[in-house]
Amino acid sequence: MTHILDTFHPRSSAPEALSPVLAISYARVSTIRQATKGGELDGFSIPAQLQANHKQAHALGAFVAAQFVDRGRSGRSADRPGLQRMLTYLREHPVDYVIVHKLDRLARSRADDIAITRAIHDTGARLVSSTEDIGTTPNGALLHGIMASIAEFYSRNLAQEVMKGMRQKVIQGGTPSRAPIGYLNVRRKTDDGREFRTVVTD
């Protein structure tokens, strides 16, 4: 989803001294449930992410000209509608800052992070995080690289743990999701009273 808050860009005609400082804001959550049922990732929903980005823009003395949102989209892929619209907008409009709440909202792959960051910088804009100090100094660049690597590790490790849990559930006689047609999900109890879920023939 894209919100264009201002389509007039006076920088194209006004002297540089009078040109406003412009920013765009990007937010993302990974699942539809988070987007539609008020669920939050890392304690921040989309409205909270956007609010933090606007606060950061204000601190930079910038006006948020547009905001872009991806709902229910994984950060492990750069093929996201909101992200692609944002990159297109950047190529077509002069922007000073691209603001995200956290770097992992932008990408959970180190390779994608590098490509997206380069695409942003190639337009003359600067990437800013509302919660992480990824400035243009060597220390900021180092932190950016570390945070991007941590995001990728978290994503890969989470996927591995999920697969491990699903495999264990199958070993114990259950299914990773709803039982297929012809079977039923049921609850059983062990001799010592512990409850477990399994699958039986319907």
CA-nearest of 84, 100, 89 to 123 is: 89
Q: Tell whether 79 is covered by a domain.
A: yes
| Cβ–Cβ under 8 Å, residues 200 and 184 | yes
Question: Which pLDDT belongs to residue 184?
Answer: 77
Residue 193 reports pLDDT greater than 90: no
Q: How far apart are CA 57 and CA 154, in angstroms?
A: 28
Q: Tell whether 163 is covered by a domain.
A: no
Q: How far apart are CA 55 and CA 65, in angstroms?
A: 14
Q: Answer yes or no: do 147 and 192 share one domain.
A: no
Compute the average pLDDT of residues 125-154: 73
Q: Tell whether 188 is covered by a domain.
A: yes
Question: Which pLDDT belongs to residue 8?
Answer: 42
Question: Between the ranges 22-26, 36-40, 116-120, where is the mean pLDDT highest?
Answer: 22-26
- Strand pairing class (97-100; 63-70): unpaired
Give the total residue count for the chain: 202
3-state DSSP assignment of residue 147: helix
Residue 99 reports pLDDT greater than 90: yes
Compute the average pLDDT of residues 186-198: 72
- Mean pLDDT rounded to a whole number for the chain: 75
The kind and range of the H/E element at 160 are: helix 138-171
Q: Answer yes or no: do 127 and 198 share one domain.
A: no
CA-nearest of 12, 159, 14 to 92 is: 12
Q: Answer yes or no: do 154 and 176 share one domain.
A: no
Question: Which pLDDT belongs to residue 145?
Answer: 63
CATH number for the domain harbouring residue 34: 3.40.50.1390
Q: Tell whether 167 is covered by a domain.
A: no
pLDDT digits (tens, 9 = 90+) for 31-77: 655 545 555 544 458 888 999 999 999 999 999 999 999 987 665 66
| Cβ–Cβ under 8 Å, residues 183 and 200 | yes
Q: Tell whether 141 is covered by a domain.
A: yes
Q: Answer yes or no: do 51 and 125 share one domain.
A: yes
pLDDT digits (tens, 9 = 90+) for 78-88: 788 999 999 99
Q: How far apart are CA 178 and CA 107, in angstroms?
A: 31
Q: Answer yes or no: do 138 and 197 share one domain.
A: no
Residue 9 reports pLDDT greater than 70: no
Provide the residue range defining the domain that includes 180: 172-202
Number of domains observed in the structure of the chain: 2
| Cβ–Cβ under 8 Å, residues 109 and 154 | no
Q: Answer yes or no: do 135 and 107 share one domain.
A: yes
Q: Tell whether 49 is covered by a domain.
A: yes
Q: Tell whether 164 is covered by a domain.
A: no
Q: Tell whether 10 is covered by a domain.
A: yes
- Strand pairing class (22-28; 2-4): unpaired
Q: Answer yes or no: do 83 and 13 share one domain.
A: yes
| Cβ–Cβ under 8 Å, residues 86 and 24 | yes
Q: Answer yes or no: do 153 and 191 share one domain.
A: no
Q: Answer yes or no: do 82 and 12 share one domain.
A: yes
Sequence letter at residue 113: D
Q: Answer yes or no: do 102 and 181 share one domain.
A: no
Q: Answer yes or no: do 74 and 154 share one domain.
A: yes
Q: Answer yes or no: do 52 and 89 share one domain.
A: yes
